[in-house]
Amino acid sequence: MIHNTHMSLWIPPSMCHYVTGTWTDAAGAVAGSIAKSKAAADNTGVISVPINLYQNSIALQGSKLVSVDCWWECLTAAMDAVTAVINKMVLPADTASFAATSAITFTYSIDHDSAAKRLTLEQHKMTLNITTPAFLDDDDLYIVQLTMDAAATSALTFFGCRANFTLRT
């Protein structure tokens, strides 16, 4: 039996989905790293981050998502707003439609627990701490959505996220 409470999984920017704005693949600030950059513009970009962890149909087995760390950098001008949501979807049965998402309750890390702290010109590591972690059923899909409302000259670079979880088999 495995019960490891210190598991993590890196989710690179190339595995995410981007809406609104001009997003380009870029070299990260450190040689050999990758990033996704959004051109400066007064618009609201949304980054959808799929959380691809082991799932299990047996209760209390598989992965229990505990938190998600997100890294980005804001340059030139502070953002107008930065918010996050963690959505849960359930895979439908054959011939059925996807049901509406449900929000997973979380708290922001102390250095990002107010809107003002998330807007600043700097490199950010924001942690989303799940209030009531649960093991993922084999039909569960989790997606983190980061909404980045940029000012006219805000330049955004997204580096990726890390899912932190317990693994039990």
The CATH number of the domain holding residue 101 is: 2.60.120.260
Domain that holds residue 101: 3-168
Percent of the chain with pLDDT over 70: 100
pLDDT band at 112 (very low <50, low <70, confident <90, very high): very high
Residue type for position 61: Q
Task: State residue 23's pLDDT score.
Answer: 93
Those residues with Cβ within 8 angstroms of residue 4's Cβ, 6 or more apart along the chain or in another chain: 166, 167, 168
pLDDT band at 35 (very low <50, low <70, confident <90, very high): very high
- Using alpha carbons, list the distances in angstroms from residue 101 to 112, 147, 165: 25, 17, 21
Order of strands across the sheet with 17-19?
A: 17-19, 44-51, 140-149, 81-90, 102-103
- Number of structural domains, the chain? 1
Q: How far apart are CA 137 and CA 18, in angstroms?
A: 27
pLDDT band at 32 (very low <50, low <70, confident <90, very high): confident
Average the pLDDT over 19-45 and give the result.
88
What's the pTM?
0.92
